[in-house]
Structure 1
Amino acid sequence: MEFKEKQSIYIQIADYISEQILLGFWPPGERIPSVRDLAASLEVNPNTVVRTYEFLQAKNIISSQRGIGYSAAENAIDLIQADRRERFLETELPEFFKTMYLLNISLEDLRTRYAKFVAVEYPSTT
């Protein structure tokens, strides 16, 4: 995983974990990788993953069971979608609209490109 400089690594890892849950790779109710396993696969310090897991636990997206490990909460998908939707609508969408306006990109252009994106990136859902 390549990390961006403008955002804390633990937040980027939380976004990665959330994406894995949304994509169904780590379904709700099932175990997610241990701190050590995830740290090794992402090539980060285990303490960073601990911080990420604590952050996600505080948001009730994951939970820990002694002796079993961490798992995605049953309602993790709803919680993640609500959080990410709010973040997108409040921070990213206004900048996106500004760019669309400045470059004279129509909603029809956007609709066409979005359809192509979904067909290529997520063909099993169309």
Structure 2
Amino acid sequence: MNNWNETQPIFVQIRERLTDMIISGSVNEGEALPSVRQIATDLSVNPLTVTKAYQSLVDLGVIEKRRGLGMFVADGAQNQLLAHEREAFLKNEWPRIVKQIKALGLDIEDLMRHETE
């Protein structure tokens, strides 16, 4: 059973799982990814939802379709995804975090002290 985040489309959540697999190295560059049908069965979702997640990664150029063989992690995918995720974090998440840090009156020393706890 999956605990889906109701505020985010399922295909985005599947894409995030695939991204995490590539960034963490649990699937290396040049290796095959699980088939659309396998993921759809494992997650109890429509295969079209999985296809949409895969297509978004194909559009980024981090996975490639090999006709008759499936989906494979492209060369350079890990570094490309890291760069993409960093950029997305800095654009989408960081401004909100900075705003909250300022609102709470925290400074770098407070943050660093709590990082090591």
Calculate the TM-score normalised by the size of structure 1. 0.83
Q: Does 1:21 align with 2:18?
A: no
Identify the structure with bigger relative contact order (alpha carbons < 8 Å, sequence gap 6+).
2
Residue 56 of structure 1 corresponds to 57
3-state SS of paired residue (1:77): helix
Which stretches in structure 2 are left out of the alignment for 5+ residues? none
Identity of aligned residues (%): 34
**Residues 21-78 of structure 1, C-alpha deviations (whole Å, 9 max, x = no match):** 1111111110110001111222211110011111111111111112221111111112
Runs of 4+ in 1 over 3 A off after TM superposition: 112-116
Calculate the TM-score normalised by the size of structure 2. 0.88
Residue 35 of structure 2 corresponds to 34
Q: Note closer, same or farther for the CA distance 1:112–1:62 as it changes in structure 2 (3 Å cut).
A: farther
Q: Measure how far apart 1:91 and its partner are.
A: 1.0
Which stretches in structure 1 are left out of the alignment for 5+ residues? 117-126
> How many residues are aligned here?
116
- RMSD between superposed Cα atoms in Å: 1.6
Q: Note closer, same or farther for the CA distance 1:26–1:115 as it changes in structure 2 (3 Å cut).
A: farther
Q: Note closer, same or farther for the CA distance 1:108–1:6 as it changes in structure 2 (3 Å cut).
A: same
